[in-house]
Each structure stands twice: as C-alpha cells, then as structure tokens.
Amino acid sequence: MNDIYRQSIEHSINPFFLFDSEGELVDYNQEAEFLLSFVPKEQIYQLALENAAYFRGFKHTYIDLSFPQASFCAVSVGYTDDEQIAIMLHKNICRQALKITNQLQKANIFTLLDIAINSNMIDERRLRSEYDISIPEFKIDIDHFLKLLNKIFRTIKQSPQIYIKVVFSAGRYIKIESKKYPVVAIDIEPEGIGSQELQKLIKDEKEFLVSTTSKGIHIELPFIL
C-alpha cells in the first residue's frame, strides 16, 4: 500500500514538496521538479510557511498563483511535527482548450512584434530584446495575437525600459487534440509596471496561454508548422 501511495504522489499532476525545518528539500515529485526549473525552492518554502495551519495538521487554501509556465488555484499545507512541512500546489486546469482552426496563418513572430511596437510608437531606445532568430515562421491566429500585443504595449508604452525575450522553451510542449507541439515562449517585462495592472490585462484572455510573472507577462505559443 505504501508503494501505491508513493507512486500516486510521484505521478500527480500537482507539484508536491517536502521541506525540513531549515527550508531544505527532503523530497519532491516530477511536477515539482519541473516547477523548480523556473521557481526557486525558497519561494515555495515561504509559500508553505505563509499558508500553514497555526496548529499541527493540514490546511487547504484557495489562492490565485501565477508563475511563468503554470498557474494554481489552491495549496494544501501540512505538518505533524516541527521537523518537516509538506505542500502541494493544485493546478488551475479550468482553462479553455486550444484548438487548431482555419484562422491560423503562417507568420514571422518577430515581424508581428515589430508591428505592435511601431503601432504603439514605443521608443526603440527603451527596448531591450533577446530573440532566438532561428525560430521560423509558424501558424498563429494573427489577428488575435496582434490584439493581445497591442493591448499589452498600450499599457506599458510609458515604461522607462521594456525587455522582450522570444525563445523555444526547452522541454516544454503544448498538447492540442492529442498532438504535442513545441513551445515558443515570449516574455515581456516592463520596468515600473505592477503585477496587478498586468493581471487585469490578461484575466479574460482565452485565445492564448498567458500568465503574469514577478517581472511581466509570459506568453506560450504552440509551434505549429
């Protein structure tokens, strides 16, 4: 029975972490390992402490968490002594499934970014970019993507500096209609713009996988040729 419990945790879609009293990781599952690739363990440990019950036992808290490549709707935290504390983050999976439609057209992602930047008259001297120029044209809903970019750039156009990064996201894929597609990741990080303001921008976004980070907005696009 212990083995099936262990395997259930290991293969859960929800990240699980076990820390000691010093904040060091004692154990974690596969999903936690993935999350640790872009979220420091110190941040997860602090989250566990902030959401732990006052007395020994387990506490479930509904909370809106948004990381670069994942969002969560709740956390479960528990401890039975002062030596270890466990936390499980519950994925927010109530998201509209992406579909391949006849609205998709091949486009150069860097050209679309330039169009949005120029349309919003953003001074190039305030831009800093990191582009993987090996990314070829791929299929995207151009109209909806430009609407999203224009909404973002209109809000951040007065930022003193804007960092834009476009790369293939190593080890990541998006599953659409049972087929896996590599991920093109776009990070737009405006200096001096609060996360709450950015969250308002994307709260009703249903066409693309968009989340907020501590520095800006993260977009994931399926690489469809």
Please give the pLDDT value at position 53.
87
Domain CATH for 34: 3.30.450.20
What is the distance between the alpha carbons of residues 198 and 200, in angstroms, rounded to a whole number? 5
Same domain, 87 and 116: no
Where residue 131 sits, what CATH number does that domain have? Answer: 3.30.565.10
Q: Calculate ∠ Cα 209-215-219, nearest 5°.
A: 15
CA nearest to 88, candidates 11, 18, 8? 18
Boundary (domain end) residue, out of 91, 125, 141? 91
Residue 99 lies inside a defined structural domain of this protein: no
Among left, alpha and beta (phi > 0; psi -120 to 50; other), residue 192 is: left
Is 128 a domain residue?
Answer: yes
Same domain, 117 and 206: yes
Instruction: Report if residue 189 sits inside a domain.
Output: yes
Q: Is 156 within the bounds of a domain? A: yes
Q: Is residue 139 part of a domain?
A: yes
The last residue of a domain, from among 56, 91, 126 = 91
Confidence at residue 93, expressed as pLDDT on a 0 to 100 scale: 58
Domain shared by 11 and 116, yes or no: no
Q: How many C-beta atoms lie closer than 10 Å to residue 43's C-beta? A: 12
- pLDDT for 106 equals 94
Q: Is residue 121 part of a domain?
A: yes
Predicted local distance difference test score (pLDDT) of residue 194:
75
pLDDT attached to residue 223? 93
Q: What is the pLDDT along the chain (225 residues), one digit of tens a residue?
A: 467 888 888 888 899 999 999 999 999 998 898 888 878 899 999 999 999 988 889 988 877 787 766 778 889 999 999 999 999 998 875 455 566 777 889 999 999 999 999 999 988 888 999 999 999 999 999 999 999 999 999 989 889 999 999 999 877 777 777 788 888 999 999 998 877 777 777 766 777 878 777 788 888 898 999
pTM score above 0.95: no
Domains held by the chain: number? 2
Are 9 and 72 members of one domain? yes
Hey, what are 171's tokens?
């080890």
Using alpha carbons only, give the angle 64, 67, 70 rounded to the nearest 5 degrees.
Answer: 85
Please check whether residues 119 and 215 belong to one and the same domain.
yes
Q: What is the DSSP letter of 98?
A: P
Residues 118, 215, single domain; the answer is yes
Residues 84 and 140 in one domain: no
Residue 96 lies in a domain: no
Tell me if 98 is assigned to some domain: no
Contact in structure between 129 and 215 (CB atoms under 8 Å) = no
Boundaries of domain holding 215? 105-222
**120 & 87 share domain:** no
Tell me how far apart the alpha carbons of residues 79 and 88 are, in angstroms, rounded to a whole number: 12
